[in-house]
A and B are shown apart, each in its own frame.
Chain A
Amino acid sequence: MMGLSKRTINRIHGILFKLPMMITCRSFEDFILAYLDDKLPPRQKFVLDTHLELCPECRDYLRACRISIELAKTSAREAEVYFPIEVPEKLIQAVLEAQKVQATSNRN
C-alpha cells in the first residue's frame, strides 16, 4: 500500500473491517483481554487474528501491551530480589509476641 496516505489507508480499513468476519479496531479492543489470556473460542480468535494480519496499528498496540505486562511482572520480581525490603526486627518480635499471647489464650 505504498504511496497511500495514512488517511486513505484508514478509510480503506474502515470499509474492509465492515466485511463479514471482519471487525474494526474499536471492536477489537473489547476482545483484547480475552485474546491475551488466550480464552477465545476458535472462531473469534480467527476473526481477531485476521484483523491483526491486516492492521499494523493493532499489531503494534498489542505487542507494546505484551511488553509492558511483562515489564510490570519482571520489575516487581527484580526489585524483590535485588532491593529486598529489610524486615525490621521489631516486626518479627511483635509477631512472635502476638503469637505467644494467642497460644496462651488458646490453652486456657
Chain B
Amino acid sequence: MTICDDPDLSATKQERELASLQNKEHGRTEQFVRHHAGWMLAVANRVLRDRSHAEDAVQNAFAAVFKNLDSFNQKSSLKTWMHRIVVNEALMLLRKQSSTCEDSIDPFQSIFDENGCRIEEDWTTFRTPETILQQAQSSAQVIELIGRLPESYRVILVLRDIEELSTTEVADMLETSEANVRVKLHRARSALKKLLEPLIRGGAL
C-alpha cells in the first residue's frame, strides 16, 4: 500500500471497513492491520529516521486508532485520520529522543550584498525533478540530504512538504506558533535548495 495508489479509500469501502471493525468481525482486524501497516511505517520512518522507533510509533498509533475508532467522526477520510495519528505518535517518540543542541542552519541561507541584492551563483542549467529522478539513486540521495537538515527544521519540512500537513496542523502538533513554523519552513527550504543544487545543476554530488 502506498500513499499514491490509495490516497483515500472510497466512501463506501471506508464505511464497510469501519463497520466491520467496529463490529469486531472475525479476521477483519488482522486484514485491516496488514493493509495499513506498510504506509504507516513509511510515514513514521520519515519523521523518525529510525526503523525500530518507527515500529514503536506504528504500534502506538494502532492502539490509538482502535481506542478511538468509535469517536472517529468521518469528517475526514479514515486514512487521513490515521495519518494524523501516526504522525503524532512519531512526534511523541521524536521529542523523547531528540538532543538539545543542533547545528546552525545559517550557513545555508540566502545571502545579500550591501544593496540588499541577492547573491546567487549563476545558473546555466536547471534539471527538472523528472530528469533528476530518472537516475537511479537520486531519490535516496535526496532523502539522505533532507536528513542532513538540523532536526527541528527537518521535521517541519517533512510535515509540510512531504506529509502535506497545513501550517496550522504542524503548529498544533509541535505546540508552537504558526509564525515559527513559517520561518523554519522557509529556512529549511532554503537550506535544502542549497544542498540539492549540485543535483539540480546536473553535476555529481
Contact = CB atoms under 8 A, between A and B. Distances in A.
**Which secondary structure dominates chain B's binding surface?**
helix
Interface in B36-65: 37-39, 41-42, 45-46, 51, 54-55, 58-59, 62-63
Nearest to A9: B117
Interface in B93-149: 110, 112-120, 123, 126-129, 132-133, 138-140, 142-143, 146
Nearest to B54: A85
A84 interface: yes
B129 A92 contact: no
Given A81-B2, A84-B2, A10 B189 contact: no
B142 A94 contact: no
B116 A24 contact: yes
Given A10-B115, A33-B182, A71-B142, A85 B133 contact: no
B143 A79 contact: yes
Given A80-B3, A84-B2, A91 B58 contact: yes
Interface in A25-45: 25-29, 32-33
Interface residues of B, number: 61
Contact of A26 (B112, B128, B146): B112
Contact of A102 (B63, B113, B127, B186): B63
Contacts, number: 168
B200 A67 contact: yes
B39 A74 contact: no
Nearest to A102: B66
Interface string A76-103: 1111111111011001101110110011
B33 A76 contact: no
Nearest to B70: A106
Interface stretch (B9-17, B77-85, B168-176, B190-198): B190-198
A33 B59 contact: no
A36 to B, nearest CB: 8
B110 to A, nearest CB: 6
Q: Which 8 A-B pairs have the closest CB atoms?
A: A14-B115, A24-B116, A25-B118, A75-B139, A75-B142, A26-B116, A57-B118, A57-B120
